[in-house]
Amino acid sequence: MLHAERLTIAVGTRTLCRELDLAVESGECWAVLGCNGSGKTTLLHALAGLAPAQAGRVSVAGKLLADYSRRSLRRTLGVLLQREDQEFWGTLADYVMLGRYPHARSLFGWDASDEEAAERAIFAFDLEPLAAQSYNTLSGGERQRARLAQLWTQNPRFMLLDEPLQHLDLRHQLQTLELVRAATRGEGKAALLVLHDLAFASRCDRVLMLYGDGRHAAGAAAELLQPERLENLYGCRVRAFGSGPDAHFLPVI
């Protein structure tokens, strides 16, 4: 379980989320929703131990983040950041293989199990034809799929994904979400995704809404993904079409 207790996050003098209690259980897929600047990325950084929270604490699998070594934490918790500022000069396959670093048994290279994990991830994200291509020559969508494949190669129990569908075409958006759902439902992992497309949020089990002023709401997707709640969250009128995992929501002009 990924557990946050009375977590408060802030940027400067702005309190974005106040005293959040959050329990993400194995087998669950969560969507994090909110306007730009509402604290979604800041929250993920706090949950991953990449940035300090104003108050509160975070534990993973019953152990506080501070009690993990960096390497052991990455065997349990994986993070897909929204931005990647560093360049990488190797091939796509080399880049994906970096996901095995927390599991490496030797300082002298990867073993067969590491290579197999990377090959499976490359195949899962339709990257086989690009495996030998320089990472720096990939398109934005191809890089995003390579970054996802690296996370799959890491094989963490809990995944924090900041806008994992950005830059992807429709087919690969659906493919990525299906892979996340298969990992949570079939393999007992847990995932928390920052999303902007409410059609994909409706396919998640639970939703966390951040209002950017300290307020938050968490609950079942079917309960929170309602026009009135979404209008309050986004500050615009919303119309719903369909229901359950097939629900779509459009802004009303």
107, pLDDT greater than 70: no
**Tokens standing for residue 49:** 């131990």
pTM metric for this prediction:
0.94
The band of 242, judged by pLDDT with boundaries at 50, 70 and 90, is confident
What are 30-46's pLDDT values in tens digits? 999 999 999 999 999 99
Domain covering 2-88+156-251, topology: Rossmann fold (3.40.50)
What are 127-144's pLDDT values in tens digits? 999 999 999 999 999 999
> DSSP letters of the chain?
-EEEEEEEEEETTEEEEEEEEEEE-TT-EEEEE--TTSSHHHHHHHHHTSS--SEEEEEETTEEGGGS-HHHHHHHEEEE-S---S---SBHHHHHHGGGGGG---TT---HHHHHHHHHHHHHTT-GGGTTSBGGGS-HHHHHHHHHHHHHHH--SEEEEESTTTT--HHHHHHHHHHHHHHHHHH--EEEEE-S-HHHHTTSSEEEEE-SSB-EEEEEHHHH-SHHHHHHHHSS-EEEES-GGG-EEEE--
Which amino acid is located at 62 in the chain? G
Work out the mean pLDDT of the chain and round it to a whole number.
Answer: 93
What are 67-95's pLDDT values in tens digits? 999 889 999 999 999 987 778 889 999 99
**Tokens standing for residue 10:** 């802030």
What are 153-166's pLDDT values in tens digits? 999 999 999 999 99
